[in-house]
Structure 1
Amino acid sequence: MKQRNGAARDLWAQMFERAAVDLNATMHESDEKGEAAQRELTISALRDAGWSEAQIERRNDAERLHGELENVNSPGVGPGIEYRLKHLSDRVRQAISETGDISHEKVEIAIDPVAGVSASLTNVIMTDEGILSVSSFLFRWCGLVARAYTRTLYADIAHWTSPGSSPKDDRELLLKNPTVVLYWFRIFVSFSGTGTHVLVPFRPSSPMEFHLFEQVAWAMEYFTIAHEFGHHVLSHRSIDEDPKMQEFQADAFAAKVCERLEFEPFPLLSNPYTRTCAGASLMLLALEILRAFESRDGNGSTVAETHPTAKDRIAKISVRNLMQPKQLEVDQEFNGTVSRIMSAVASIMHEAREAGGNALVANIKQQLHDTEMEMRDSESSQPDEESA
């Protein structure tokens, strides 16, 4: 369905123009030679991960199916990012339409050319239109967290899915897999220090990991997008309303939408991470750890002022099917596994921050700041063309 939201598009064009000229804007400059080299690196990494030539070719064929967008709201941010957001949004729109609600038609989508992990809804004043925007590294974040989670789970799936173990047992098991622990640490340091994945080595999923990894990543992304659509559909426009209550309401809305997306991304394979909203739990808990890395006090208190804790949000999400005992059991099983794994990850990451992680992130941020200042000084010292 083609949206005609003139006010939203005009507002976003102004916002994007201002953001795109910033020195830190995450704009992508086309470089055929560099892109060709990146493709070769990707193919080499896939071979190392155990992919056959036929599997690699099928993967490349699937990526080539991505067509050109009729309307590009965020030109130059990065190849394929707005296409992915549109695909996710279209599926969410379809799920909302099945309920008879058409208010989602008043939402435009866009990629904010900034680093970091964010998704937000901007209401257009004096209209019923809105802009759903995500940061340009949101999907990369979801992919990395999903891959780290998959590898943690597969390290001992019987342990993580069996009751009876203690947090101490969970920590000890995770610490027996230093490669996985380091992978988690690199993700949080990279995104807290730079807002990007630049410090995380590219280690694609193996053929064995592929289906679970894809299910988890898509479940995280679908919930995130559906949550922002929820704010619009539920008319969360008044600043006088309780922001934490609005978050709970948007979560509940997103959970209902995700139930309708159970067979994503594989049409014949049920995705329990979408159906149970365990993907949402993973997203919330991973973000909570990231905020601890980012905040000076180490507990992410700034976000907590406007958002409920991940624990409180997950508690509501995981018991939403209280009147359906069988589904409730499945919901709690999957959300419980995610919570156990992320609790162990959080505990180890807390120790890593205390042992030098905080200093490392601060050092990275300082170096980036110094580089930015040098660039600004260099730019301001250039002679003006008109006066030259």
Structure 2
Amino acid sequence: MSDTAAAVRAAVGAVVDPELRRPLSELGMLRDISVEGDVASVGIVLTIVGCPAAERIAREVTDAAASVDGVARVDLAVGVMTPEERRDLTERLRDGRAARVMPFGPDSLTRVIAVTSGKGGVGKSTVTANLAAALAARGLRVGLIDADVHGFSIPGLLGLVDADGRTQRPTRIDELIVPPIAHEVKTVSIGMFLREGEEGSAVAWRGPMLHRTIQQFLTDVFFGDLDILLLDMPPGTGDVAISVGQLLPHAEVLVVTTPQAAASDVAIRSGLVARQTGQRVAGVVENMAAAVLPDGTTLDFFGSGGGAAVAEALSAPDAPVPLLASIPLSPALRTDADAGIPVVVAHPDDAASLAIAELAASLATQPRGLSGRSLPLRPR
């Protein structure tokens, strides 16, 4: 291989697959690459027919090859992996882990945080979506599971639903599910699996189906290496809360409430149920707190003190539960959510954005508990 062809192979191999977030050279997607005169002939293969990232990959590969000195034109040939190549790829992505095995067990270095609430309507999903985007903006690798199967809203909040109501779907590589990415957050929701034209329909499932869905999200979805996995939980203490407690007893729990006593009293129950399954209550988030108006006065539409009351009720002498954030009422938070973009992205200087950013900073700097976990270290 000529020096120019070697340079083209290196440049093309460094292109990162936008879904798998790994270089093409590591994924086995490169084929014959040669240079005749000033023309580079480049061959690549995609993982599946109809790969949603095909145009982007082709464009970036062409640009990478054209950037090499001495190359004036690029002839790109695009093919598709064979079944054997896809099987090898999925095994490599699992990094030796068998299929249908959850990678977020007690020995995982990924922090798992379930965002819960005692009742609906407190803004739990909006807080979760914005928290995920804020954590990703800090450079953390973040995954998000919309575990609210009956009331899923995460795809809409993160802009994964188009103007016609179609939800962006994951990519399937054999049995591996590659989740869409929005605002650098890898996201999966039951809304992504509904058939065309059924996006607005209701999911009427009972316990066993709910359990299998959450289990499949945890085992079959390829999130890659994550720093934090967030779960947007359904309100209350029903089947999904019990399933998550069984599947992820080591998870941390973030309880969302409003300042109103009627909401905070119920929110305490979600924290108590999580603790019964062995999960640790990491803190409380008070949403819809008092807002400061332009004239300097405050508007406490839902009262005050609910978040502090929940934190106090859930605290124990040896396990204090802090009030991690108080997010004020914000018109921007509501309008941005309806538009499908996190307020922390659209209006980072908004009061609600600043509160969520502080929450993300608090969670990001909390030490990761490694006691009793086996670290992936080998003697040399």
- TM-score after normalising by structure 1: 0.25
Q: Decide which structure has greater strand share.
A: 2
Bigger Rg over Cα? 2
Q: Decide which structure has greater helix share.
A: 1
